[in-house]
Amino acid sequence: MSIMSYSKALGAAMAEEMRRDDKVVCIGIDLQYYGGAFGVTQGLCEEFGEDRVVNMPIAEAGYTGLAVGAAATGLRPVVELQFGDWVTIASDQLVNQAANMRYMSGGALSVPMVMRLPCGGFGAAAAQHSHMFESWFAFVAGLKVMCPSTPEEAKGMLKTAIRENDPIIFLEHRQCYEMKGEVTEDPEFTVPIGKAAVKREGKDVTIVTYSYMVHFALEAAKILEQEGIDTEVVDLRTIKPMDTETVLNSVKKTHRVLCLQETWLTCGVAGEVAAVIADLAFDYLDAPVKRMGSPDCPAPFSPDLETYVLPSVNGIVQAVRELME
Amino acid sequence: MDRDTRLHLYREMLRIRQFEEKVRELAMANELPGFFHLYVGEEAVAVGVCSNLKKEDYITSTHRGHGHLLAKGADMNRAMAELFARETGYNKARGGSMHIAAPEVGMLGANGIVGAGIPIATGAAFSSKYQKDGKVAVAFFGDGATSQGTFHEALNIGASFSLPVVYVCENNLYGVSTRQSKVRKLEDIAERAKAYDMRGIIVDGNDIEAVCDAAGEAVRLARNGEGPTLIECKTYRHYTHFVGEPDNYRPREEVDTWKKKDPITGYAQRLIREETAVQEELDEILRSVNQEVEKAVEFAKNSPKARPDTVFDDVYAN
């Protein structure tokens, strides 16, 4: 075990996988000696060289398409977008190409690639550098979506993503990059795809969430504990395929649930979780399913305004109190 | 060019022509589901380029992809079966005409998104260069695709990294119904190569031997590590954008003029004129190609339809 940041853990995952398999290459902008915009690829170019850690021109559609073609012909590209918001520029290659290639070819083609998207708010980065598009990609058949919240899971999940034979959308929350935690040094440690984790056990109420919001939920649970409310926190980890079993088991135990996400609530992941619960665990509920996320407003620049629209620990505490009434 | 090569090129063009004419007939008789974009008139491009490729080299194609597929060496039976939505089709009836792929002969897929195959071919070339396997990738695309960002992004990357890729533009003057000169200032697409410090070549896309020569040189350079070439093949589609669409946007005289420049009949005349073959030999090639097409239709019709209980196969790897 060593204490490592989320950012370093992601870098370690790539380094380990690159050592393990010479078909793994990193593609993106400013990845080489700059280490990527958030330092995640620091040191990789020094170890693996410029042929495996490749700096591309600022052409998201072009180099994402290049990764699709490289993946279809034997490589395992790990693509970093400088900011996840820019996945819009690369989207045709992900949605119409990568997601469909295996199916359209009747299984004759395979696209083992990972799209790493640094994303998320709380940085006063305004409306083109703060958003999260996990629900867009979870919507698409043929893609898988992963959102780690801790350093160890970041490492284990990225390693899994690189070994998967399908295209993976991998959301890294920028507010998690500097978080530190214990990370195993076992190069065979991976976190399975499609498995949620109960991050805190509780018997009164469940919060289902993922990514940075897991930390907000755990903070809220501490406050609620002082009020005698025992909160269970489920970290989805993988958005698609979703581990509905862990969600349903928790709800069947606590009978109350808050579905929490950071980004826009409308048509979001929280709504999907709520629908699954309504379909399959309605009879277990003692209160209506509650959702929490951001209102339909672009990320504001002003820190005061941004804080106002994003979920807060106090807001979560308040929502849980309402669930308990 | 020796006699065998010439007759091979002739036969390959004819295979595409007769396949496409049959597809048109079947589509108009409602025997095939979906949309069909026919390659009739442009056969010299696919055949001229692919005759320079090895089986393991890669190509990416377009919505008008049957010609590239057959020229790359695909089995006509499985191609036809795919169009008939049969289990025995190349893609088990998941892809159909617009997405047909045959990776076993290096064909990475037709594509319903204009310009999307260009970065994918560039990626295949990146992969080959990285793996040092000596393969070359060819991106086929139309004139319309050169207005897409993916065209410019991919050419810039291909040139910057000196990748083993050849960019082949089939300039048939129209993007669906829009005459491209109305939406593209530049007359010659090959000029765009200059922007990427790349070789740009214009070739008569209806002259099979001219295409063959130009592509041969481009493929040789690519394989030698000397980077990409953009080849613009001036050609024309005899039919409309897709089967069933009215041809109310092309002047009659223009269509007639280009039909007189038909790559196949023109080549047949040349083969006879230059005493490479006699008419009877060419007739015999036509007969055997027609037989191959008929057998492909039989194969397809006798194949089982794709079954709903397999519909979820291949959405994911596991």
Q: What is the pLDDT of residue B175?
A: 95
Per residue in B54-105, pLDDT (tens digit) is: 999 999 999 999 999 999 999 999 999 999 999 999 999 999 999 999 999 9
Say if residue A171 is in the same domain as residue A314.
Answer: no
Per-residue pLDDT at B174 exceeds 90: yes
Q: What is the pLDDT of residue B40?
A: 98
Among the partner residues B91, B108, B121, nearest to A106 by beta-carbon distance: B91
ipTM of predicted assembly, 2 dp:
0.96
Per-residue pLDDT at B223 exceeds 90: yes
Structural domain contains residue A190: no
Q: Tell if the CB–CB gap between B157 and A63 is shorter than 8 Å.
A: yes
Structural domain contains residue A192: no
CATH architecture of the domain with range B3-304: 3-Layer(aba) Sandwich (3.40)
Q: Look up the domain containing A273 and give its range.
A: 197-324
Chain A 144-173, residues with CB within 8 Å of chain B CB atoms: 144, 164-166
Say if residue A62 is in the same domain as residue A158.
Answer: yes
Q: Using an 8 Å CB-CB cutoff, list chain A residues near B118.
A: 65
Among the partner residues A51, A105, A142, nearest to B103 by beta-carbon distance: A105
Among the partner residues A68, A108, A166, nearest to B123 by beta-carbon distance: A68
Q: Using an 8 Å CB-CB cutoff, list chain A residues near B89.
A: 106
**What is the residue type of B127?**
S
Q: Which one of A148, A183, A218 terminates a domain?
A: A183
How do beta strands A2-5 and A180-183 pair? antiparallel
Q: Which one of A183, A211, A238 terminates a domain?
A: A183
Q: What is the pLDDT of residue A17?
A: 98
Say if residue A47 is in the same domain as residue A175.
Answer: yes
Q: What is the pLDDT of residue A1?
A: 86
Structural domain contains residue A87: yes
- Which segments in chain A show pLDDT lower than 50? none
Query: Closest Cα of chain A to B125: distance in Å?
Result: 8
Tokens 């930390």 appear where? A215
Among the partner residues B91, B94, B154, nearest to A62 by beta-carbon distance: B154
Report, as an integer, the average pLDDT of B228-236: 98
State yes or no: is A255 an active-site residue. Answer: no
Q: What is the pLDDT of residue A225?
A: 98
* CATH number of the structural domain spanning residue A259: 3.40.50.920
Q: Using an 8 Å CB-CB cutoff, list chain B residues near A67.
A: 123
- Whether residue A288 is preceded by a cis peptide bond, meaning omega within 30 degrees of 0, is no
Say if residue A136 is in the same domain as residue A274.
Answer: no
Q: Tell if the CB–CB gap between B314 and A61 is shorter than 8 Å.
A: no
Q: Tell if the CB–CB gap between A97 and B91 is shorter than 8 Å.
A: no
Q: Tell if the CB–CB gap between A74 and B127 is shorter than 8 Å.
A: yes
Query: Closest Cα of chain A to B32: distance in Å?
Result: 18
Q: Which one of A127, A156, A183 terminates a domain?
A: A183
Say if residue A150 is in the same domain as residue A226.
Answer: no
Task: Using DSSP, state whether B276 is helix, strand or coil.
Answer: coil
Q: Tell if the CB–CB gap between B95 and A69 is shorter than 8 Å.
A: no
SS (H, E, C) chain A: CEEEEHHHHHHHHHHHHHHHCCCEEEEECCCCCCCCCCCCCCCHHHHHCCCCEEECCCCHHHHHHHHHHHHHCCCEEEEECCCHHHHHHHHHHHHHHHHHHHHHCCCCCCCCCEEEEEECCCCCCHHHCCCCCHHHHHCCCCCEEECCCCHHHHHHHHHHHHHCCCCEEEEEEHHHCCCEEEECCCCCCCCCCCCCEEEECCCCEEEEECCCHHHHHHHHHHHHHHCCCCEEEEECCEEECCCHHHHHHHHHHHCCEEEEEEEECCCCHHHHHHHHHHHHCHHHCCCCCEEEEECCCCCCCCHHHHHHHCCCHHHHHHHHHHHHC
- Contact of A28 with chain B, judged by CB distance below 8 Å, is answered with no
Say if residue A238 is in the same domain as residue A130.
Answer: no
Residue of chain A whose alpha carbon sits nearest to that of B93: A106
pLDDT above 70 covers a percentage of chain B that reads 100
Report, as an integer, the average pLDDT of B220-227: 98
How many independent structural domains does chain A possess? 2
Q: Say if CB B59 and CB B68 are below 8 A apart.
A: yes
Backbone angles phi, psi at A8, to 5 degrees: -65, -35
Say if residue A280 is in the same domain as residue A307.
Answer: yes
Say if residue A15 is in the same domain as residue A159.
Answer: yes
Say if residue A245 is in the same domain as residue A205.
Answer: yes
Say if residue A173 is in the same domain as residue A241.
Answer: no
Q: What is the pLDDT of residue B318?
A: 85
Structural domain contains residue A165: yes
Structural domain contains residue A148: yes
Q: What is the pLDDT of residue B15?
A: 98
Q: What is the pLDDT of residue A210?
A: 98
Structural domain contains residue A129: yes
Domain boundary assignment for chain B: 3-304
Say if residue A162 is in the same domain as residue A295.
Answer: no
Residue of chain B whose alpha carbon sits nearest to that of A63: B119
Q: Tell if the CB–CB gap between B119 and A73 is shorter than 8 Å.
A: no
pLDDT above 90 covers a percentage of chain B that reads 99
pTM: 0.97
Using 50, 70 and 90 to split pLDDT, how confident is the model at B35? Answer: very high
Q: Tell if the CB–CB gap between A104 and B153 is shorter than 8 Å.
A: no
Residue of chain B whose alpha carbon sits nearest to that of A104: B95
Report, as an integer, the average pLDDT of B37-43: 98
Q: Using an 8 Å CB-CB cutoff, list chain A residues near B123.
A: 65-73
In a mutational test of the A interface, the residue from B72, B197, B314 whose CB has the highest number of chain A CBs within 10 Å is B314
Say if residue A38 is in the same domain as residue A172.
Answer: yes
